[in-house]
Every structure is written in C-alpha cells, then in structure tokens.
Amino acid sequence: MSEREIERNFDPADYWQRRLSAEYSLGSVGWSTLGTSFNRWAYAIRGRVFTRAARAAVSAPERASVLDVGSGTGFYLDLWQQLGVSRITGSDLTPVAVERLARLYPTATIQKVDIGDADLPLSAGAFDAISIMDVLYHIVDDDRYAQALASLARLLKPDGVLLLTENLLSQQTRAVHQIFRSREWILSTLREAGLVVVDQHPAFFLMNTPVNSNSRLLHRSWEVVTKLVGRHETIGWTIGAALFPIELGLTRLAAGRHSPSSTLLVCRRRSE
C-alpha cells in the first residue's frame, strides 16, 4: 500500500477515540511514549506561550466569545477561563472527549466537530477568537486542511483572531497520522482563507522534536531526552523540571521568531 493510500485510509476520529478511551490524560493528547510526567512539563510551556499570545491578541477577554477546536482533555479551555473568558465553546471530533468535556465544563458549550468538514454545527461570525492547538498537522488530507482554514475564517467575526500551532518547514514531510507542511504552503492557504498572520511565537526549542532545524546538536539532544524520559515517569518528571526554566527563557527571548519545533501563529480575519 502506497503512502497516499495509507493517508486516505487513515481515520482520525477512530485513531483519537482509541487513544483517549485507553487513557484520558495529557500523555494521550501529547507525546504518548514520553509519559504523563514529561508531558505535563511540556504542556506547562505550551500554556505559558499560549497565554502570552492570547493576552496580547484578545483585548477584552471578559467580553469575548471563544471557540477551542480539538479540545481533547480541556487544557486550553482552562487557559481561556483563566484569561477571564466566560463564553466558551469547546469541540472535539471524538465522542469520548465530547462526553468527558461536557461533564468537566458544565458552563461551556461542548460540540462534536470535525473541522475538516464543510458543514459544521456552528454559526458563521460567532466568535471573537478561536484556538486550534496541535491539531491542523493531524489533518492528513490537503483539501480538508484548506477547508478547515476556510471554516475557521468563516466562524470568526471580522477582525477576529485565530491562534494555531504549526510546524513551518522548508519542505513537506509526511507520516501516517500527521503531515508537516511547508511554511510557504501554509501561509498561502491562510491567505486564501482570508487570514492574515500578525504575530508568531516559538512554542519549543528543547522539549519537542526539532523538525524545523538542521542542527545536529538539537537533534542529538532530543534523541537523548526521549531515550531517557521513556524509561520511567520519575526520570520524565526530573528532565522536564530541569528543561522547563531553560525552555521558558528561550521562548520569551525568541518571541516573534521561528522555532526549531512548532510555532504559534496569531492570525486575524480580514475585514470585508
């Protein structure tokens, strides 16, 4: 079976339903082989980067209507609430996540949504801000990816803000359940959807795969980290704790620049 045939046969809803049904934790939505302890530290970095970007992008969060796409275990729903947002809609393509999120966030609206679909159970122009974190590169079909961006733009109010994470590579690479697309293709598809990049924040330097770097040192360091972290939860916690302040400093110092790993892009919907 060819690579493209494998992609066409890949069912993301089934894949994530099985992962989240087996274990509903940050380890399941993050890097599953690295354990929950290390993933908690990695998500702590994600949280700091996201909060910094969202606070700068959304001027009045207490009055904003917000959608989070691919909510999983609710990590970003928590962050929006901490920023003062009260009108929150969470969404996921898996029944298990939708069911759990509805119980965990009784004051939020939780919807079953596959953002790659053309028809969505959401109103156009309903949201001041949308977050879709570590989700888009799991859409393996390019047409559905483009449809997702078009739908996200349609759901935003004019001048509404979209926060997303992507791996902006110089050349596309593919795997069974994720595709790292080129920076040029992603930015072009954003423009076609009516979305303008206004800011960017590096999400990781040391605590994720350096897919956007040719540095042998970074790649070798990540190999060592993954080998050690996978041995035991205690080792994962210790290494995560040691890397956290370094990673936090690097992401702050490099704000506005590219990341050797994933990058958080802040986009605005063009006013009509």
| CATH code of the domain covering residue 83 | 3.40.50.150
Distances (CA, A) of 259 to 11, 136, 183: 30, 17, 12
Matching residue, tokens 């559905």: 144
Which range of residues forms the domain containing residue 69? Answer: 3-269
> What's CA 84's distance to the chain center, in Å?
21
Give the strand pairing for 156-166 and 173-174.
unpaired
CB 262 within 8 A of CB 205: no
pLDDT score at 1: 41
Pairing of strands 109-112, 87-92: parallel
Residue 5, pLDDT > 60, answer: no
d(CA 7, CA 10): 5
What is the percent of the chain with per-residue pLDDT over 90, rounded to a whole number?
72
Helix H or strand E encompassing 149: helix 142-155
What is the per-residue pLDDT for 6? Answer: 46
* pLDDT for the residue numbered 28: 80
pLDDT bracket for residue 264 (50, 70, 90): very high
CB 72 within 8 A of CB 92: yes
Q: In angstroms, rounded to a whole number, what is the distance separating the alpha carbons of residues 167 and 20?
A: 24
CB atoms within 10 A of CB 271: 9
Read off the pLDDT of residues 10-52 as tens digits, 9 standing for 90 and up: 788 888 889 899 888 887 888 778 889 999 999 999 999 999 9
Write down how long the chain is: 272
CA distances from 157 to 66, 120, 149, 241, 242 (A): 11, 16, 14, 40, 42
Q: Minimal CA–CA distance to 177: which of 123, 136, 224?
A: 136
* pTM, two decimal places: 0.92
pLDDT score recorded for residue 2 = 43
> How many domains is the chain partitioned into structurally?
1
